[in-house]
Chain A
């Protein structure tokens, strides 16, 4: 590593920061004004890139045509964003916040499949910018000329945004609404159009962020999730609502990543550490350090932080003992009556019921939202597989230790997360989940990388599907009953007190943060048990077990079944697992269909299946 390669990587980092900043700025603006965490923001980026690919491919032969193509792509994405706001989100503002989240996630699914239908599944590298396709020499290194455009784009857009926000009435309304949108409404401003405007601008920025990287990054269908996770990290690190903060954070993260690439492989104490493969983990380290030092991000301020607005849930009792026994009895004899395929499906239902129950405890009793619950599920699955295959332990031991691994990992993630609250906390959980995912994905030697691991089979006495099913049933029953008991133990009451009124709970001597931290450990262990069961039931695992899709599945299960009830997540798990089994079999566009189904649910039953309204009523501002 010499000086010139550091400089080159530094420039590379600057170029990478711009696009990231555009996406994060849009996300932050939208959240500030509408309080919607727009999961679809990464999809807007991806859409911008795909559109630019097509438009520039067709009209981009001349410099004018090229730049207009990029701009039009971004504008189209802006319009798509505005339409999403008008057609979908506008109907959900009175619903629980989580329904808005679900709606935006449904949009992710739909956009992904629309992109699949139009552009196909392969990576597409776009046209080079006419006139800027060359490169120049710098200390003997080659730097693409287009990188200079990217380097300039970030500060230029930051400057323009600053002008809009400071010098226009729209910008003043945006800033005022970010602080107190109800008051802005009471002064006669129609929030609906303000929201649409902000959605347009924010989506335009995401689309632009995608379009400008056309000559540098290939367009592909996995960008949506990768980008949204990065954008969450940037927003959290920079401080919600701060545009300069977003730029600073994007720069910091892009530079640190670039530095890792520049360092490359380093030999220390006889080991070779490959820094270039650590880029995602390093992102996490940056975030962790920043959050410990400045919990509201680099330039964020506590006053601009939304209050923790997690749902309030009525205390609900478990069903009567004899009903529980009846259900267990029916489930226990079921394998004797149904075919092999159905046993496997029912096994999945039980696994996901346990998983969903752990998220339900986290949200309902713990009062926190997790966007990254699959992390613990996946860590459980990988721990089980690694202990079996790499450590050579017996399957029974691996299954027992997996929840321990999940619990420890959750405590580790939770230690950072509980320093935040509300949406920040939720974003952080997603970021951690993405990091866990990327470790599983990148660490080929240990985890098998994207191929995952095969041959993760249970012990001989559990090889029969029915036998394994009974094991799953046993673990699920124990896990769910344990969570139910805990919800009405002193620990559960303390948690609820902290959830409903943190200040009062603190005054009563309850250490809310500590309890929340402990909750991470509990739900992490339970989710990991579900993940381990899942791994053994399938015989193989891949990074998908902790993909964001699975985290969202868990959220859908909890919301579908009704958050107010302890049985809700179990019912939701059954319905969703069955539904996915049905549609996956019939079409390659199952994601889009699932997205449309979620949208229908959100729009037609804005209060949730089980009259969630009363229980999710927000505290008046």
Chain B
């Protein structure tokens, strides 16, 4: 579904991503796991075309998407939920959803406000509240809901559990699993192995802009060496 090869990204003089490759298959939930500053967010932004890649190839369902503008990438079916959520604070919950609304190019079940409210019942109660008045957890839900309104087939979730209360983290994991059951593919980034275990099928471990390890969650769980080298604080 998504395949990234040989991706190189620089910020000015600094090489941030080097020779990065990863793959997401249809219906999979894949986690990109690594410490703060490892390059997870940059990877996602590069896939969306929000930061330019110096080299490499990004393909999505057979289309080459590197060099496409972000809106074109989104229209092909990649939904992006940024780490800092970037809710439109002046707009109400419903209006935020409306900005994300898009009719899908292909067939498939259409996301409607009612459907996303079913997924995140908390949001249903505050449809007219301004985005800026929501709690962190509610903003995260709204950010995902807003992206779902674009009817993506692949969801990029940048650290969805960051800064959330344990109860909300559980809800978030539930929601992601629901999405997976509905056939959505997900690439999420995490520092938190616990959350990754709740939802992911496979993991890539990233450190200093390079993929250091890839394997199933079960393999990663068994590999204490990798975890100690790249993930423990």
Q: Which chain A residues have a beta carbon within 8 Å of chain B's beta carbons?
A: 169, 172-173, 175-176, 179-180, 182-191, 303, 617, 620
Contacts and interface: CB of A to CB of B under 8 A. Distances in A.
B95 A172 contact: yes
A494 B184 CA distance: 52
A85 B75 CA distance: 24
Given A180-B86, A183-B86, A172 B99 contact: yes
Interface string B149-161: 0100000000000
Nearest to B11: A620
A489 B213 CA distance: 50
A179 B91 CA distance: 10
Contacts of A189: 71, 99
Nearest to B102: A188
Given A185-B69, A186-B71, A620-B51, A180 B88 contact: yes
B90 A179 contact: yes
B11 A186 contact: no
Interface residues of B, number: 28
Nearest to A193: B71
Contacts of A188: 71, 74-75, 100, 102, 150
A180 to B, nearest CB: 5
B48 A186 contact: yes
Interface in B41-83: 48, 50-51, 69-72, 74-75, 80, 82
A173 B101 CA distance: 11
Given A173-B99, A187-B102, 11 more contacts: A169-B101, A175-B88, A179-B88, A185-B69, A186-B50, A186-B71, A187-B146, A188-B100, A189-B71, A190-B72, A191-B71
Given A169-B98, A172-B99, A620-B51, A187 B150 contact: yes
Contacts of A187: 71, 74, 80, 99-100, 102, 146-147, 150
Nearest to A617: B12
Interface string B14-56: 0000000000000000000000000000000000101100000
In this complex, the member of A176, A188, A191 whose beta carbon has the largest number of chain B beta carbons within 10 angstroms is A188
B89 interface: yes
Contacts of A191: 71
A186 B80 contact: yes
B101 to A, nearest CB: 8
Contacts of A169: 98, 101
13 contacts: A172-B91, A172-B99, A173-B99, A176-B88, A179-B88, A179-B89, A180-B86, A186-B80, A187-B74, A187-B150, A188-B150, A189-B71, A620-B51
In this complex, the member of B51, B70, B98 whose beta carbon has the largest number of chain A beta carbons within 10 angstroms is B70
A614 to B, nearest CB: 9
Given A172-B98, A172-B99, A620-B11, A185 B88 contact: no
Contacts of B150: 187-188
Interface in B71-121: 71-72, 74-75, 80, 82, 86, 88-91, 95-96, 98-102
Q: Is the interface of A mostly helix, strand, loop or mixed?
A: helix
B106 to A, nearest CB: 14
Nearest to A621: B50
Contacts of B89: 179, 303
Interface of B: 11-12, 48, 50-51, 69-72, 74-75, 80, 82, 86, 88-91, 95-96, 98-102, 146-147, 150
Contact of B99 (A176, A182, A620): A176
Contact of A182 (B12, B50, B146): B50
A176 B99 CA distance: 7
A87 B51 CA distance: 26
Given A187-B74, A190-B71, A176 B50 contact: no
A191 B48 CA distance: 15
A601 to B, nearest CB: 25
Contacts of A183: 82, 86, 88
A188 B95 CA distance: 15
In this complex, the member of A186, A190, A303, A617 whose beta carbon has the largest number of chain B beta carbons within 10 angstroms is A186
Contacts of B88: 175-176, 179-180, 183
Given A183-B82, A186-B80, A189-B99, A176 B71 contact: no
Contacts of A185: 69-71, 74
Contacts of B102: 187-188
A169 B98 CA distance: 7
A195 to B, nearest CB: 12
A373 B147 CA distance: 46
A365 to B, nearest CB: 21
In this complex, the member of A175, A183, A187, A190 whose beta carbon has the largest number of chain B beta carbons within 10 angstroms is A187
Nearest to B143: A183
Contacts of B71: 185-191
B74 A186 contact: yes
Given A175-B91, A303-B89, A620-B11, A184 B99 contact: yes
A185 B100 CA distance: 10
A617 B51 CA distance: 13
Contacts of B12: 617
A303 B87 CA distance: 13
A180 B50 CA distance: 13
Contacts of A173: 99
A157 B100 CA distance: 28
Contacts of A190: 71-72
In this complex, the member of B12, B75, B80, B95 whose beta carbon has the largest number of chain A beta carbons within 10 angstroms is B95
Contacts of B75: 188
A307 B207 CA distance: 32
B70 A176 contact: no
A173 B90 CA distance: 12
A185 B70 CA distance: 6
A165 to B, nearest CB: 10
A175 B12 CA distance: 32
B185 to A, nearest CB: 17
B218 to A, nearest CB: 33
A223 B112 CA distance: 50
A386 to B, nearest CB: 50
Contacts of A303: 89
Nearest to B95: A172
Contacts of B98: 169, 172
A495 to B, nearest CB: 22
B77 to A, nearest CB: 9
10 tightest A-B contacts by CB? A188-B74, A176-B88, A183-B86, A185-B70, A176-B99, A186-B70, A185-B71, A187-B100, A190-B71, A188-B102
A186 B47 CA distance: 11
Contacts of A172: 91, 95, 98-99
A184 B101 CA distance: 11
Contacts of B70: 182, 185-186
B7 to A, nearest CB: 17
